[in-house]
């Protein structure tokens, strides 16, 4: 027999109340830890996705939207950039590379980026970790496609498989129209990068330009036929366009990824700001510095997640209050128990310590269960976020945070036990030994 | 068998000198002198409200007298600080109540072991000593929760808890008040035998005149 058994027996005598209060502490601790962990993991995931791009050019409404659309596949950019503009920008400065990108098509909800070979070769999605091949290799000719790791897994893609892309992205107005005339062949599958690029597919620009050129010409021909009272109905069905037939009007892109020359081993360039200022004078385009925009985004999101953190802390404090209330509501039973313990030789300080130990134990057990729940919660939240937004936000419970949150929960629980402990200490023994009325 | 920890004068009884206790409503309990020898068995008789229970609480050190001295086995218990008095009570005084006051959620064995722990017995002695006390009192399901035991068994556990630590004095407050006459007689005999076997003085309060015949000494209490 020891004091801990007395405490455990006291808790088990009020099994339901004890379980509910432990549950409240558990949920509060888990919530706090998951939020802390995902907050950091989300920031890292966003920082990862921008890779080694210095500047991003698009025709989106704002730099932040440009980055979210162009590098995180949030939506297909609404406005195109002409190929001539790309050439103008590419030739305006000795960039290390200038990669054109076009977004707008999708495969079963996964975004498809049309780009050139430099994207898979020179763009590094996670600093220090360039794209690597799980199997196959880069596209080399029209209608070949490379799948990101998650897209390949989600759709069960394999090398040599023929797939048909959709015009528009999932949820966009254009979504649903298939480019059935031009099936693509899967030629490569990338290894996971932990960035949004894992859920995308990649093909070359010419393929995309060809199918859109055919679409446009078909639609223009259709309009013409209507004007001529359907005189040549279906005459222009399946008018195929070759790469050589593409005009400047067909060659539209939605973004340009730019990297300035840097010294070996360095990612920074002193020319970023001047080049950005120069490009921004062109009002037909939006220029964004991805790292800076992600910093802005995290600052905005940071305000919101502080709100969530504050809510989690409120839940933690309210769980401490529930410990206090549970112990106070059990006071009549406790007073009799305290009176008996005092008769048997327990000092007032000892019964005070027993009450504090009881509330502390509730806090400790709840907090440890909360850590376990947080580990599971992080896994679930990561899986959910990966499925919903296609980003690997792998929240891991950091030992230091977990220790601090557990210590905080235990201290709060111990403090919650002070009032019941004082009441125990002051229990008039003789009065509570009398038979209950 | 392990010796009782910190034994003082095991043959010593209870001595009250000039004890007065004033109730909040103005009544006063006045005990000019009372001597109960070690091993003696005494009935404190008197009507309800006469102060019998208060006197027992004074002897146990649970209530503090307005004036006077109470010695248990030679120790003036009100010269001890509160914490020391609690420890003294655990080691040298056993108490039995009308409603037993067993700890709910604890087994019979744990109720007795708890008393032994608070009496200062080492953990390795507690189990054997508690099992022996329960066995002597006829409890053959020591691991049963006390709330699962019959009223008679609960009283036996309460008696075992009071005597297991071999106290100097056992105080029983109206132990038969809720029993019928036949069970009351059996019950008081059980308590007397247990106290006798442990060598403790026994002080029983009761307003039941039928118990007088069971005691060689009866002290009338009147507030």
Q: What residue of A is the nearest CA neighbor of B167?
A: A344
State the pTM of this model: 0.65
- The length of chain B is 223
Please judge whether A1 and B117 are an interchain contact, meaning their C-beta atoms are less than 8 angstroms apart: yes
Measure B213 CA to nearest chain A CA, in Å.
Answer: 26
- Per DSSP bridges, beta strands A252-253 and A184-190 are unpaired
Among candidates B82, B123, B161 on the partner chain, residue whose Cβ is nearest the Cβ of A2: B123
Residues in A closer than 8 angstroms to B117, CB to CB, are 1-2
Identify whether the C-beta of residue A159 lies closer than 8 Å to the C-beta of residue A188: yes
Residues in B closer than 8 angstroms to A333, CB to CB, are 104
Please judge whether A342 and B114 are an interchain contact, meaning their C-beta atoms are less than 8 angstroms apart: no
Q: If we measure between CA atoms, which residue out of A206, A213, A220 comes closest to residue A240?
A: A213
| For chain A, the helix, strand and coil percentages under 3-state DSSP, each to the nearest 5 | 55, 15, 30
List the domain boundaries for chain A: 3-45+302-432, 55-288
Residues in B closer than 8 angstroms to A424, CB to CB, are none
Fold of B38-61+81-222: Rossmann fold (3.40.50)
Q: What is the full per-residue pLDDT of chain A (437 aa) written as tens digits? A: 788 888 888 888 788 888 988 998 898 888 888 887 877 777 777 777 788 899 999 998 889 899 988 888 888 888 899 999 999 999 999 999 999 999 988 898 899 999 999 999 999 988 788 999 999 999 998 899 999 998 999 899 999 999 998 876 654 444 556 777 789 999 999 998 878 888 899 999 998 898 878 777 776 666 555 554 444 444 445 567 776 777 778 889 999 999 999 887 777 788 888 999 999 999 899 999 998 888 888 777 777 777 777 877 887 788 788 888 877 777 767 788 888 888 898 888 898 999 899 889 999 999 999 999 998 888 887 777 666 655 666 667 778 888 988 998 899 888 888 888 888 888 777 777 766 55
**Is B103 at the interface with chain A, CB within 8 A?**
yes
Please judge whether A9 and B106 are an interchain contact, meaning their C-beta atoms are less than 8 angstroms apart: yes
Residues in B closer than 8 angstroms to A344, CB to CB, are 89-90, 114-115, 118-119, 161
Q: What residue of B is the nearest CA neighbor of A433?
A: B101
Question: Is the ipTM, as predicted for this complex, more than 0.95?
Answer: no
**Is B113 at the interface with chain A, CB within 8 A?**
yes
List the domain boundaries for chain B: 38-61+81-222
Within A255-318, strands assigned E span 255-259, 286-288
End-to-end CA distance of chain A: 31
Enter the DSSP assignment of A430: G
């Amino acid at each position: 027999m020891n004091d801990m058994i007395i405490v455990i027996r006291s808790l088990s005598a009020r099994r339901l109340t004890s379980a509910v209060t432990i549950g409240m502490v558990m949920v509060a601790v888990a919530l706090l830890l998951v939020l802390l962990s995902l907050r950091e993991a989300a920031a890292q995931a966003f920082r990862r996705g921008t890779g080694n791009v210095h500047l991003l050019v698009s025709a989106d409404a704002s730099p932040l939207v440009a980055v979210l659309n162009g590098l995180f596949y949030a939506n297909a950019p609404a406005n195109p950039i002409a190929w001539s503009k790309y050439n103008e920008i590419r030739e305006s400065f000795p960039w290390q590379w200038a990669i054109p990108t076009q977004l707008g098509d999708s495969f079963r909800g996964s975004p498809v980026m049309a780009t050139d070979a430099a994207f898979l070769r020179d763009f590094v999605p996670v600093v220090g970790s360039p794209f690597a091949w799980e199997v196959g290799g880069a596209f080399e000719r029209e209608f070949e496609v490379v799948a990101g790791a998650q897209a390949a897994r989600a759709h069960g893609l394999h090398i040599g498989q023929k797939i048909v892309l959709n015009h528009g992205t999932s949820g966009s107005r254009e979504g649903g129209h298939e480019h059935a005339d031009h099936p693509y062949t899967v030629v490569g599958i990338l290894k996971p990068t932990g960035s949004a690029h894992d859920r995308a597919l990649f093909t070359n620009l010419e393929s995309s330009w060809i199918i859109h050129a055919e679409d446009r010409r078909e639609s223009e021909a259709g309009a013409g036929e209507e004007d001529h009272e359907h005189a040549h109905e279906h005459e222009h069905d399946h008018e195929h366009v070759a790469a050589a037939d593409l005009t400047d009007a067909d060659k539209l892109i939605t973004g340009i990824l730019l990297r300035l020359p840097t010294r070996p081993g360095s990612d920074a360039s002193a020319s970023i700001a001047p080049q950005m200022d120069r490009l921004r004078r062109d009002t037909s385009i939006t220029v964004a510095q991805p790292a800076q925009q992600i910093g802005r985004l995290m600052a905005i999101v940071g305000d919101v997640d502080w709100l969530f953190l504050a809510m989690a802390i409120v839940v933690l404090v309210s769980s401490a209050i529930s410990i206090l209330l549970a112990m106070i509501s059990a006071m009549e039973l406790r007073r009799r128990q305290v009176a008996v313990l005092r008769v048997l030789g327990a000092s007032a300080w000892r019964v005070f310590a027993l009450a504090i130990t009881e509330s502390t134990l509730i806090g400790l057990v709840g907090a440890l269960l909360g850590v376990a729940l947080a580990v599971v919660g992080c896994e679930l939240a990561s899986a959910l976020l990966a499925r919903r937004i296609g980003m690997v936000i792998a929240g891991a419970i950091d030992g230091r945070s977990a220790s601090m949150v557990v210590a905080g929960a235990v201290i709060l629980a111990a403090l919650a036990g002070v009032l019941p402990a004082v009441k125990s200490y002051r229990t008039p023994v003789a009065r509570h030994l009398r038979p209950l009325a | 068998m392990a010796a009782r920890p910190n034994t003082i004068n095991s043959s010593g009884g209870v001595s009250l000198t000039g004890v007065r206790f004033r109730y909040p409503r103005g009544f006063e309990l006045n005990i000019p002198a009372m001597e109960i020898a070690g091993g003696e068995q005494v009935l404190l008789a008197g009507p309800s409200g006469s102060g019998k229970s208060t006197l027992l609480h004074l002897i146990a050190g649970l209530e503090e007298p307005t004036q006077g001295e109470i010695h248990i086995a030679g120790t003036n218990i009100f010269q001890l600080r509160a914490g020391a008095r609690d420890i003294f009570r655990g080691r040298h005084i056993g108490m039995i109540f009308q409603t037993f006051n067993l700890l709910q959620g604890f087994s019979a064995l744990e109720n007795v072991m708890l008393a032994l722990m608070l009496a200062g017995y080492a953990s390795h002695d507690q189990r054997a000593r508690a099992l022996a006390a329960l066995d002597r009192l006829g409890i053959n399901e020591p691991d049963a929760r006390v709330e699962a035991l019959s009223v008679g068994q609960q009283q036996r556990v309460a008696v075992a808890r009071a005597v297991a630590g071999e106290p100097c004095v056992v105080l029983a407050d109206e132990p038969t008040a809720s029993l019928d006459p036949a069970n009351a007689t059996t019950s008081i005999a059980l308590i007397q035998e247990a106290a006798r076997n442990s060598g403790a003085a026994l002080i029983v309060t009761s307003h039941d005149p039928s118990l007088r015949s069971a005691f060689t000494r009866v002290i009338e209490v009147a507030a």
